[in-house]
Amino acid sequence: MEIRPQSTWAAAEPPAGSLIARYATSTRAELSRYLSTEGDAPFLGTLMADYPSRGGKMMRPAICIANARIFGEGLGEDYEPAIRCAAAIELLHNALLIHDDVQDGSEERRGRPTLHALHGIPLAINAGDALMFTAFQPLLDAVRPLGSEIARQVLDVTMTMARHTAEGQALELGWRDSNATDLTEADYLRMALKKTAWMGMIWPAQLGVIIGSDGIVDPERVLRFGYFLGLAFQIEDDLRNLSDDPGYGKENNGDLLEGKRTLMLIHVRNACSQTERAKLDHFLSQRREERAADDVLWLAHLMETHGSVKYGRQVAQAMGGAATYEFERAYAGKPPCEDLEFLSGLVRWVFERP
């Protein structure tokens, strides 16, 4: 299979007319349709529409629609069930972002104050709950004309995703709250699989496969591609947080300040001396507000000097390589098309995204 990965959309905004831009436009139109009915609800409607209106990469919806069209040859870009699934994905993603921000105590999201910083935690959580349940409306609308078997499959992969995502989030929060330090790389990979890959890559692809193929193709076909792509994404995301430019709306070394258990943290704790480890453990045992800025810089330097950052970059690249390998297997025999080029280009996008 000769697929030319797309790379032209690795800018701040995808170029007009590109596949990702077209899918984003369709998804946003559907989103606004489902959110418009909430506009009049006091203390709720505007909160629900806040995060979706701040933009976003819209990669997850695009992954869904692209898979639907690859496995449903002949389906148009306006195939409603796929676009509605895409809208459901984006609604659920934004719902989880609201809750994540509360759980992490984050102050900024997409360049603006987080929802709970603007409106308080109770209203923010309520808006997240409402978005989560609203997400089921487009999902049900998508499967209604396709029959009970498709509906069953869609609910099946959705329930699986919800379970894994909650478990992954619980792992990360639990490690931080209980000050877990004896973590292995396998622990981190399991957490990343559940917290990031399943919701961000695997589920959107599986929804697309089910909707596009009318339930004929096993959704597990795209599981491994989504998994390795998600791992590469998460590790790269953690690496960027350590860099001078952590990304749009994110604070430099914010993960270190939070004591987030990353692959680099696990590596540096295993690689450092006993003295350094004692200091590191003391740093991790402190509450976020107790951690000094100098200690954060010390930890960042420690990771650099022990090769943890370099190691993390190599692992991320290796996961990207594995994702490329799995892409070839998952989409073997599919005729070259724009959607395939888009999915193939996701591996490069993980590392080149703004």
Q: Please report, as ranges, the residues that interact with other proteins according to CB under 8 A.
A: 148-149, 152, 156, 160, 163-164, 185-186, 189-190, 193-194, 220, 223-224, 227-228, 231, 243-244, 263, 271-276, 298, 301, 304-307, 309-311, 313-315, 317-322, 324-325, 347
CB nearer other proteins, residue 29 or residue 170: 170
**Which residues are CB-contacts of 213 (< 8 A; sequence separation ≥ 6)?**
71, 72
Our CB check for other proteins shows the closer of 139 and 263 to be: 263
Of the pair 21, 151, the CB lying nearest other proteins is at 151
Query: What is the smallest separation between the CB atom of 145 and other proteins, expressed in angstroms?
Result: 17
Query: How far is residue 116's CA from residue 99's CA, in Å, rounded to a whole number?
Result: 9
110: amino acid identity, one letter? R
Minimum distance between the CB of residue 43 and other proteins, rounded to whole angstroms? 37
State in angstroms the smallest separation of the CB of 50 from other proteins.
34
Tell me the closest approach of the beta carbon of residue 314 to other proteins, in angstroms.
5
CB-wise, 109 or 164, nearer to other proteins?
A: 164
d(CA 5, CA 31): 28
How many other CB atoms sit within 10 Å of the CB of residue 287?
7
Q: Which is nearer to other proteins, 224 or 334 (CB)?
A: 224
**What is d(CA 87, CA 137) in angstroms, rounded to the nearest whole number?**
10
Is residue 322 a contact partner of residue 228, using CB atoms and an 8 Å limit? Answer: yes
C-beta closer to other proteins: residue 19 or 154: 154
Q: Which is nearer to other proteins, 19 or 347 (CB)?
A: 347
How near is the Cβ of 310 to other proteins at its closest, in Å? Answer: 5
Q: Cα separations (Å) of 273 from 191, 303, 306? A: 26, 12, 10
CB count, 10 Å around CB of 57? 16
Bridge partners, residue 109, by sequence? 112
CB of 210 to other proteins, least distance (A): 14
The two structure tokens encoding residue 348: 């490069």
The Cα 312–Cα 87 span in angstroms is: 33
Least separation, in Å, of the C-beta of 173 and other proteins?
19
Contacts for 171-176: CB closer than 8 Å, 24+ residues apart: 171/195, 172/260, 172/261, 173/103, 175/261, 176/258, 176/259, 176/260, 176/261
Distance CA(127)–CA(157), nearest Å, equals: 24
